[in-house]
Structure 1
Amino acid sequence: MTDDSGRRAFTLPSTFYIHYNDIDPEHEALIDIVNACVARLVDGVLEDFEEPFRIFVERLTDHFRHEEDLMRDLGYSGLQWHADHHAECLTRVENLIAHMQAQGYAGMRELRVCFHDIIHDIVHADLKFGEFLNGAGLIPRRQ
């Protein structure tokens, strides 16, 4: 997805990739949903936001479940903390959607908040899991 200049509105920095299973493509798919909303903004407003955000929440929930299943299967000791973090992320997204419903539209501000929440999850939780994977020899060592 690109903005009017031909660039993607939001991109996941490569330094935030986990390089394990389908985690990175799932992060990218979430960002693609946000970018699709950016592309549909008319004068900075997206009135028909409910369906894309329903899909976003569905995919986010599936992604969190997938990560937690991987962690459980690998015996990751940070699973409970990570699951609690995921629950907080979902609450923030639900609150954001309630805010958009009250104002009647999604704007660039709300889309930016959504993107930042994905980044927040990766930085505060997923990279720790990546360190575990690295230590277990399950992903290539980072330079």
Structure 2
Amino acid sequence: MALPRTFIEWDDRFSIKVEDIDYQHQELVNIMNRLYQAIVDRTAQSEGPKILDDLKIYTIAHFSVEESLMRIFGYEDYEVHKEQHRQLVEELQEVMLRVEAGEHHINSDLLIYLRKWLVNHIMHTDVKLGRFLIEQGIGKNKPWYKRIFS
């Protein structure tokens, strides 16, 4: 039986109806799928650290966008949301250090954890943020910058 080509399939149920953030979530899924493919291809030990670094860098950039929008529009759950972001980045950094030291291998357990975290975060925390942003006039074909600068 052949393994699937992707670990996470983007699905409309992941959409928070805010185009910029949905696009960024899709890119996070793409990076996780690259890590999955490296595991399947048995190149995770050589390619995995770079992919994990890409994931960390993109995740930090994405979280910065979300957190900026939360601050700009006065999102009441900003601190809780930001703490979830901080915890994931810290955990990613710890895993990367352990991989670099040879104490941890890039494997399916890591992928399952990352998928569970991302899906849970999108489906619960980010969906709530999406509803808030839509109430602020941001959403599909309504970019945040037009709301601020118009």
Whether TM exceeds 0.5 here: the answer is yes
Provide the rounded CA distance (Å) in 1 between the counterparts of 2:5 and 2:43.
20
Structure 2 spans left out of the alignment, 5+ residues: 141-150
Summarize the Cα distance change of 1:71–1:110 in structure 2 as closer, same or farther, 3 Å threshold: same
Q: Which residue of 1 is the match for residue 132 of structure 2? A: 132
User: Partner residue of 1:39?
Assistant: 37
The Cα of 1:99 is off from its aligned counterpart by: 4.2
Alignment partner of 1:17 out of 6, 15, 39: 15
- Structure 1 residue 58 displacement after superposition: 0.4
Give the deviation of 1:137 after TM superposition. 4.7
Q: Quote the Cα distance in structure 1 between the aligned partners of 2:19 and 2:69.
A: 9
Q: Secondary structure at the match of 1:10?
A: coil
* Alignment partners' CA distance in 2, 1:72 and 1:105: 37
Q: Which segments of structure 1 move beyond 6 Å, counting only runs of 4 or more?
A: none
Extract unaligned runs of 5+ from structure 1. Answer: none
* Aligned residue number for residue 70 of structure 1: 69
Percent identical pairs in the alignment equals 23
Instruction: Confirm or deny: 8 A CA contact 2:6 2:36 kept in the other structure.
Output: no
Which stretch shifts more, 103-112 or 131-140? 131-140
User: Structure 1 residues 39 and 45 mapped into 2: Cα distance closer, same or farther (>3 Å)?
Assistant: same
Q: Is the 8 A contact 2:6 2:37 kept in 1?
A: no
Q: TM-score, normalised by structure 2?
A: 0.76
Contact 1:86 1:121 in 2 (8 A): no
Q: 1:72 to 1:121 in 2, by over 3 A?
A: same
Secondary structure of 2:109's aligned partner:
helix
- 1:50/1:7 Cα in 2 relative to 1: closer, same or farther (>3 Å)? closer
d(CA) in 2 for partners of 1:133, 1:43: 40
Judging changes above 3 Å, is the alpha-carbon distance between structure 1 residues 44 and 112 closer, same or farther for their aligned structure 2 residues? farther
Shift of 1:11: 1.9
- Counterpart position of 1:107: 107
Structure with the higher fraction of residues in helix conformation = 2
- The alpha-carbon deviation at position 138 of structure 1 amounts to 3.3
CA RMSD for the aligned pairs? Answer: 2.4
